[in-house]
Amino acid sequence: MAEPAIDAEIIDRATAALIAEVREGRRKSIARLMSIAESTGSGGKPALAELHRHTGRAHVVGLTGVPGSGKSTMVRALTQRFRETGRTVGIVAVDPSSPFSGGAILGDRIRMLDLSGDPGVFIRSMATRGALGGLARATLDVVDVLDAAGFDMVIIETVGVGQDEVDIVQAAHSVVVVSAPGLGDEIQAIKAGVLEIADIHVVSKCDRPEAGETVADLRAMLRLGTLGRDQASTWKVPVVATSAQKREGIEFLVDAIDQHRAHLTESGERTTRHRRILETRILKAAEDIVRDRLLRQNRVRLNTLLDEAVARDLDPYTAARRLLGEG
């Protein structure tokens, strides 16, 4: 009985030291705690549990848009503008690359865009890998690390496709959806899925002649009430026109984000939203725990059930209930 107590104490002391370093903004410690958050083992959980106590100061912006919409350029311009207004920025780029080899493309691209020399900016790439649900959990833990480290703004960048990524971006305080004029048919169809979750719409590449139409379309959809995630909210979703090439409009996007932030606080919606985000995180964590347990502790039982299911003597639903010790 003595050993676990000592182990727990060692973990606690190491955890406390690491979290103190993160809160001082030490970059190596931030990176280390992020790696702990990303690793699938549950060894990092005490650190993450303790970390949560020190979060809640950062404003989290979820920025999404389909391939080709100019997200990465937008993130860069937004970051530069936030820096000009004296704010520090953490960026989490959720990378759509391989779930197998684990890649890092968006993040690398942002890094190349001349932001990484600035100590007021921290960039982290998250590669899609491992189990379902794991990406959302790990991403939100990494956001917690940046929050606890004192970054004023945290930007989560995702490609707006797939339920997982919609879940991630919805866990932000302000959801920004980037649209570009004149993309292909199928891409527009995919985009339709994320338009509804926007707190702020931004149209990129407004130096192009077709951009006016895209802006008008979004405004019409908003007026007709076919967009807008939260019927109960009094927030009026704006459409911001930008051109990264002409370096235009980014200040309006920053204004819109700041106004949305103020709105959340004044209306009390910040608490509602925070509560909804935490609900998602708790349920995802509970699912993770249950999945781990099913796979690890019930392996023999699962194999027996699988034998029967392969022989078609058992269907997946009955097998699932039996795996959970029912029926």
Q: Which of residues 237-256 bind its own copies (CB under 8 A)?
A: none
Site for its own copies in 95-154 (CB under 8 A): 95-101, 103, 105-106, 128, 132-133, 135
Residue 67 binding its own copies, by CB under 8 A = yes
Maximum alpha-carbon separation in the chain: 73
Could you say whether residue 41 binds its own copies (CB under 8 A)? no
Ranges of H-type helices in the chain: 2-23, 27-38, 45-52, 71-84, 106-112, 134-148, 163-169, 185-195, 211-223, 250-267, 269-297, 299-310, 316-323
**Residue from the set 40, 193, 217, 259 that interacts with its own copies by CB under 8 A:** 193
Nearer to its own copies, 85 or 163 (CB): 163
The whole-angstrom separation of Cα 38 and Cα 129 is 10
Contacts for 141 with CB less than 8 Å, ≥ 6 apart: 37, 38, 48, 51
Q: Which of 141, 143, 144 is nearest to 157 (CA)?
A: 143
Q: Helix crossing, 27-38 with 134-148: angle to 10°?
A: 160
By CB under 8 A, is residue 225 in contact with its own copies?
no
Distance of CA 104 to the CA centre of its chain: 15
Q: Binder to its own copies among 7, 84, 266, 315 (CB under 8 A)?
A: 315
- Using CA atoms, how far residue 275 sits from 46, 268, 279, in Å, is 22, 11, 6
Binding status of residue 187 toward its own copies by CB under 8 A: yes
CB of 187 to its own copies, least distance (A): 5
Site string for its own copies, 274-313 (x = CB under 8 A): xx--xx-xxxxxxxxxxx--xx------x--xx--xx-x-
Rounded-to-integer distance, Cα 271 and Cα 258, Å: 17
Q: Cβ closer to its own copies: 164 or 248?
A: 164
Indicate whether 319 belongs to the interface with its own copies (CB under 8 A).
yes
How many chain residues interact with its own copies (CB under 8 A)?
Answer: 78
Nearest to its own copies of 163, 245 (CB atom):
163
Contact flags string 145-164 toward its own copies, x per CB under 8 A: --------------x-xxxx
15 touching its own copies, by CB under 8 A = no
